[in-house]
Amino acid sequence: MSYLDEIIKSRRDTRHFTNEEVPDAVIEKALEAGHWAPSVGLTEATRYYLIKSAEVKKAVKKLFLDYDEKAAQSTDNESQKVQYQALKLEAIEDAPLGLVIAYDRSVLNHFTIGTVGSNEAIKNSAVCAAQNIWLSLTEQGYSMGWVSILNYYQFKKILGLPEHIEPLGYFCVGKPATDYGKQPMLQQLNWKKKSEAPIVTEINHLIIDEDKKVAVSSKHKDVATTLKKELEDKINQKTKPIGSLGVLEKIAQQIGEVFQTLEPKIKNPNIIVFAADHGIAQHGVSAYPQDVTRQMVSNFLEGGAAINVFCKQNDITLSIVDAGVNYDFPSNVKLISNKIDKGTHSFLSTSAMSKTQMQLCFSKGAEMVTSIAKQGCNCVGFGEMGIGNTATASVLMSVLCNFSIEDCVGKGTGVDDEKLQFKIAILRKAIENYEGEKDFDSYLAHFGGFEILQMAGGMLEAYQQNMIFLVDGFICSVAFLIAFKKNPEILKNAIFSHQSAEKAHKKLLDYLDVSAVLQLDLRLGEGTGCALVFPIITSAVAFLNEMASFESAGVSENKS
């Protein structure tokens, strides 16, 4: 065995340190090793921050403890919780030196000529640097421990790191107090055994991904005329004048036809909020900075947003999906990661995404709905969050419906009249700059948003799963427009929750020849309209199933 092999095998994620100080020469040599790690496009995006302050260490330790408690609460039973809490997962205050390894996203604005940069590439370069540092410290008789269970937003805040600097985590550095029996600590504690060899598969033939036609489920054969007529008769025989419950009667009829039963039941309702960032936002088309997307996702996860309140009020499960937020969220059991990338590119000058990313959006949205359908859900609502997504939705509506951009642009989350004219001018310029093919998929890739296309994929899958699905406001209706153009049959399963205050929404609903149930001047997004309309949905089902008929109540029916 070579000396290098010995170093690699003895490299440990260390949690126990002596109080011996780390000599400057040791850390300098280790950081030099990190500097010479592979760096995609020679970006040199990796950054290092040294921490010796007891005050800073204490603050970082508190962040760890807050998230560690959440992790302990997510264990399956009390025995697991006790085992988890017995683990030593950090040595933030014990280790003599703290090291933050980070990467600088701003280098992507000035990338090496002849190469194309991505956030994942520079992040992975920083990981290579971390490994080099680890190996160098091991060779010198020192070690590191990686702490990643942190609220990264607060972590950056207490360290004073700018928005474009993204930390991999906090690394504890020092002289190890134990060799852990020359094996990983979790293996030493009998939690898990490291496999003896790497998992390797040889790929020896090419897979050609041919276009697949969407299969039409046998569930979606035309509803038998008899069932349709039976539902109409059941509704008309209730102890009321015919048509007197208005829209409730239409909803009851629709739900009965979708579920193909005279006694439909709403089961395990779920609202999915898809969040993503948009490159067009960097041009000032929103009243809010892009970081609000990340802030609001955190608010959803902490239960503080309007959609949290309304879902709790109506006993609706809320699922939060990171479809492409420009942020690395910490590990959190409540956040579902469908991240395609850290936001789209600005379609003012280039394509928002590749066609591969576009297709991935549809598949990931479908997978999300399939997952909740397997949990017994038959009614799903769609919501969104993303600074700049009204601009994206407006352009998509314009190019897909052949409307002028002026007819498709509104104030979004509250821009003033002057900013509105600026927004229209920017989006008009983006459409004028487009030189791609005029086909449907090319438009979606060039002007699309990750959350909008994932919602469209989810709606298509909700139809395949025979679910009722609720469409929120303007942006969700644009997602529906995209799904509808792929499969017009989905209209049978859709309920449009509300007509928003965004002026283009009414025009789009008219284009689709549909009506919204509510008109509350909402322009919040988040799926709030879906949650607010839900009691009306359940009322429609309730009257269909529980209201007496003329015959059962012994009430004379008006035969005239």
Q: Is 498 exposed, middle or buried (0-12, 13-18, 19+ CB in 10 A)?
A: buried
491 and 472 in contact (C-beta within 8 Å)? no
Whether the CB-CB separation of 107 and 117 falls below 8 Å is answered with: yes
Question: What is the Cα–Cα distance from 436 to 288, expressed in whole angstroms?
Answer: 30
**3-class SS at 276?**
strand
Query: Measuring CA to CA, how many Å separate 59 from each of 65, 72, 158, 296?
Result: 10, 20, 8, 24
Assess whether 526 carries a catalytic annotation. yes
Eight-class DSSP state of 449 = -
Cα-based distances in Å from 461 to 135, 451, 455: 48, 15, 10
The alpha carbon torsion through 231, 235, 237, 242 (nearest 10 deg) reads -130
Residue 145 burial (CB count, 10 A): 26
**Can you list the positions of beta strands (E) in 105-259?**
143-147, 165-174
Specify which residues 317 forms β-bridges with: 270
Calpha distance 166→300 (Å, rounded):
22
Of the residues 166, 257, 384, 526, only one is catalytic, namely 526
Looking only at the bridges linking them, the beta strands covering 468-471 and 494-496 are parallel
Which are the catalytic amino acids? Answer: 526
